[in-house]
Amino acid sequence: MAGGGREPPVGQFELQSLLLTRIGLSEIVIINRMNWQKVYTVNGFWDRPRFGVADYDGQPHIYESPFDEVADDYSDVYQLSPINSELFELILRDWIIWEKWLAAFNAGKAAKDSHPCLPGDKPEHGQLTELIGDRFQIDQTNCFSKKAEFRQTAKAPRRLEVLWTNCD
């Protein structure tokens, strides 16, 4: 800097950009600014979220980590499928019912055998289950694969975000 002054401090994003430019990778979008996406539901969990609804590129998608029979474990690769707004709303309404049950259960106000909803929510849960039907699944004609890293953003109720990355 002219006059012997100090250069302004460099933020982490700018430093990453500078380093990538110096090694000839300036055309890379810098990890999309670590574009963490909202996880709306976790309807399947084994060591980590395996099935539910999360944003991809700011739009809700069904995500699923299929079970690999050969490896006898869940895949590290997730399939994602866009979800229409009507189905998304139904799934979210049912998720709210489940979160209400979980809060009551954790407070000792609901029995385990009442899962997945409180007695007063049974009619609505039943209706939502019927309306959702078999549509809450990956559309094999309209899906793509990504790897996922999940992080918790709040404990109660538990909130997550996901970082989708390309498969190797």
Same-domain pairing of 54 and 117: yes
Q: Which percentage of the chain shows pLDDT scores above 90? A: 70
Supply the pLDDT for residue 75.
87
Same-domain pairing of 82 and 10: no
Same-domain pairing of 28 and 49: no
Same-domain pairing of 18 and 76: no
Quick: pLDDT tens for 16-42: 443 344 444 444 444 445 699 999 999
Same-domain pairing of 75 and 149: yes
The yes-or-no verdict on residue 5 having pLDDT over 90 is no
Same-domain pairing of 87 and 130: yes
Quick: pLDDT tens for 66-107: 988 998 989 889 999 999 999 999 999 999 999 999 999 999
List the domain range (segments joined by +) for residue 145: 36-165
Same-domain pairing of 84 and 142: yes
Same-domain pairing of 57 and 103: yes
What mean pLDDT do residues 160-167 have?
A: 96
Q: What angle do CA 54, 55, 59 make, to 5 degrees?
A: 135
Cα(144)–Cα(137) distance, rounded to whole angstroms? Answer: 13
Q: What is the number of structural domains in the chain?
A: 2
Mean pLDDT estimate for the chain: 85
Supply the pLDDT for residue 98.
97
Same-domain pairing of 30 and 72: no
What mean pLDDT do residues 128-156 have?
A: 95
Supply the pLDDT for residue 157.
79
Same-domain pairing of 62 and 131: yes
Please give the full DSSP string across 76-140, using - where no structure is assigned: SEEEEEE--HHHHHHHHHHHHHHHHHHHHHHTT-S-GGGTTS-GGGHHHHHHHHHHHTT-SS--T
Same-domain pairing of 130 and 52: yes
Same-domain pairing of 64 and 15: no
The yes-or-no verdict on residue 56 having pLDDT over 50 is yes
pTM over 0.85: no
Supply the pLDDT for residue 14.
41
Tokens of 5: 């002054």
Cα(115)–Cα(122) distance, rounded to whole angstroms? Answer: 10
Supply the pLDDT for residue 155.
84
The yes-or-no verdict on residue 140 having pLDDT over 60 is yes
